[in-house]
């Protein structure tokens, strides 16, 4: 190839993809495992109010159906297995101490699904909250190890359950850090976060960086206790 040919090829190179060019996720069904807990219930409410089809899951189907009726906006309730089967995207919002057991039991139902882990491994003592480090490195990496046939991402860690569940708030003023291995999966989750007014989903690295994102919640808990607040995150210059 001549230098002229090289210059011509370079000039015809496709422009870099706009990082804010995100897919349309409005038609996807979102399942929330742990959807009867504060975080899961709040996420289900916000997404459903934004027009997303949402199914919340629980170990007890009756409990899930009761919570769904409270939320309204077309939210349905089911046991965890049915929730996983019927959903395109599955948000994992279960307590840390039930994380491994829940995912192990749903490996088949979650195969081929886009899984969004938002679990924060935390401990509490007289000094307050502190981060735990799972053997795999993070809750998200544990999920990826337990679900080899799923596409695991991590997001929605830093959201206040109190604000999410407050119907008087029209917007949630925060950014959502999204981590994952495949750009398409990350962008889908970014777009899902962006469905909630006031929120942005922002790429924050691969799953190996999930531990510090999960552990930052311990710092936010300290902030909230000192200032009687419901602190979130905003990333500048993005």
Is the pLDDT at 9 greater than 70? The verdict is no
d(CA 19, CA 210): 20
Q: Which H or E element spans position 79?
A: strand 76-79
Q: Identify which has the larger pLDDT, 173 or 7.
A: 173
Predicted local distance difference test score (pLDDT) of residue 13: 75
pLDDT for residue 8: 55
CB atoms closer than 10 angstroms to residue 56: 32
pLDDT of res. 16: 86
What does the mean pLDDT of the chain come to?
94
Confidence class for position 7, pLDDT limits 50, 70, 90: low
Q: How far apart are CA 11 and CA 32, in angstroms?
A: 46
Closest CA to 151 of 118, 175, 184: 184
Residues of the chain with pLDDT > 70, as a percent, come to 95
pLDDT of residue 11: 55
The pLDDT value recorded for residue 15 is 81
Burial class (CB in 10 A: 0-12, 13-18, 19+), 8: exposed
């Amino acid at each position: 190839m001549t230098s002229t040919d090289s210059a011509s090829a370079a000039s015809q190179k496709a422009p870099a993809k706009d990082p804010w060019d995100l897919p349309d996720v409005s038609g996807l069904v979102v399942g929330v495992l742990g959807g009867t807990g504060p975080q899961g219930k709040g996420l289900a409410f916000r997404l459903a109010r934004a027009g997303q089809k949402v199914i919340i899951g629980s170990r007890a189907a009756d409990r899930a159906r009761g919570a769904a009726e409270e939320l309204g906006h077309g939210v349905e309730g089911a046991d965890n297995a049915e929730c996983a089967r019927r959903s395109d995207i599955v948000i994992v919002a279960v307590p840390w101490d039930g994380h491994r057991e829940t995912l192990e039991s749903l490996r088949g139902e979650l195969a081929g699904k886009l899984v969004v882990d938002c679990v924060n491994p935390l401990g509490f003592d007289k000094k307050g909250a502190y981060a735990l480090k799972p053997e795999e490195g993070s809750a998200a990496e544990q999920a990826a190890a337990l679900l080899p046939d799923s596409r695991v991402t991590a997001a929605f860690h830093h959201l206040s359950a109190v604000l999410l569940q407050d119907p008087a708030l029209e917007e949630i003023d925060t950014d959502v850090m999204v981590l994952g291995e495949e750009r398409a999966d990350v962008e889908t989750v970014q777009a899902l976060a962006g469905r909630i007014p006031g929120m942005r989903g922002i790429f924050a690295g691969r799953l190996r960086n999930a531990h510090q994102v999960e552990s930052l919640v311990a710092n936010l808990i300290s902030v909230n206790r000192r200032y009687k607040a419901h602190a979130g995150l905003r990333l500048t210059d993005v």
